[in-house]
Amino acid sequence: MSQVGRLVTIGILSFVTGVFIDRYFQRETVYFKGETSSSSDEESDDEGIDVDSKDLNTVPGEVRMTLIVRQDLKMGKGKAAAQCSHATLALYKKITNPESPAYNPEMVHRWEYYNGQAKITLQVPDQESMDLLFAQAISLGINSYIVHDAGRTQIAAGSATVLGLGPAPKSVIDQITRDLKLY
């Protein structure tokens, strides 16, 4: 199996594992800026900011999801992979929920069927840099989600670990991420 094939397989397994773990444990999740919800009681209505990205449907080219990992937290590779899975699932839930302002079936279709659900993982030095990227993404109409850790293992509770962007056209995401390095 090629290196690309292995990476795709790992990505798919990480996503599916994240879905099942999330549903099995129904854990308390910190969503955005310290707000919490116990998903065993009910789902939170506040999972960040839902953006209407339908204007981006006219932008041609590749569609991808971008996951940006904070480097100052010194997360292990497994922890970072789990946090990226949380971001991927959260973004997918937003964009496929017909009751959400983020609902955009055309963008999902482009991402799923024309680009093989492309994802790229980048790194950012600290939370301030992540917050700036988050604000830029919102201003460009890119759906965004910041994962906040529950604090059960390596990271302090409430720490922003990963910023997820998209799915959105690569050319638009690149406007804010082009200077970032691969994770």
Tell me which residue has tokens 């940006």.
Answer: 68
Residue pair 102/51 in contact by the 8 Å Cβ criterion: yes
CA distance linking residue 133 with residue 118, whole number of Å: 20
Residue pair 143/160 in contact by the 8 Å Cβ criterion: no
Q: What is the largest CA-CA distance in the chain?
A: 44
**Cβ atoms within 10 Å of 154's Cβ, excluding its own:** 15
pTM of the model: 0.74
What's the order of all strands across the beta sheet hosting 35-38?
A: 35-38, 28-32, 144-148, 160-169, 63-70, 119-124, 181-182
Give the pLDDT of residue 151: 87
**What is the mean pLDDT of the segment spanning 28-48?**
37
**Residue 182 DSSP code:** E
pLDDT band, very low/low/confident/very high, at 48 (cuts 50, 70, 90)? low
* pLDDT tens-digit readout, 80-101: 999 999 999 999 999 999 999 9
Return the CATH superfamily for domain 3-182.
Bit1 (3.40.1490.10)
Measured between alpha carbons, how far is residue 183 from residues 47, 105, 129 in Å?
A: 25, 29, 15
